[in-house]
Amino acid sequence: MTDDTTHHPPAGSAASRRQVLCAGLAVAGGLAAAGARAQEKIAPEMVQYQRTPKDGNKCATCVNFEPPDTCKIVAGKVIPEGWCIAYAPMETSNKG
């Protein structure tokens, strides 16, 4: 008597490899789309953007500022004298 130890799921009860692969690709595509959305700029109100400096910090000295009037993070136009909570100072080199 031969014992068949190969187990096959009942027909229609298991996902095919193609279904699993397609589902995985759909999830990966969704994550990629979410990543793209995450790179969209933020509304000025969300980062408390103001048109005046704060404690001497201003857009013109921030790593995210792109002259003459844009920001890598904040949507819309910003002014060099503005400021927001995403402010990150540029590194200064001390060559001496």
The model's pLDDT over 45-76, given as tens digits with 9 standing for 90+, comes to 999 999 999 999 999 999 999 999 999 999 99
Q: CA 85, 86, 88 angle in degrees (round to 5)? A: 115
Q: Please give the pLDDT value at position 19.
A: 72
pTM, rounded to two decimals: 0.57
Which helix (H) or strand (E) covers residue 25, if one does? helix 17-38
The model's pLDDT over 19-54, given as tens digits with 9 standing for 90+, comes to 766 666 665 555 555 555 556 999 999 999 999 999
Q: Please give the pLDDT value at position 17.
A: 72
Q: No. of H helices and E strands in the chain?
A: 1, 2
The model's pLDDT over 2-16, given as tens digits with 9 standing for 90+, comes to 555 555 555 555 666
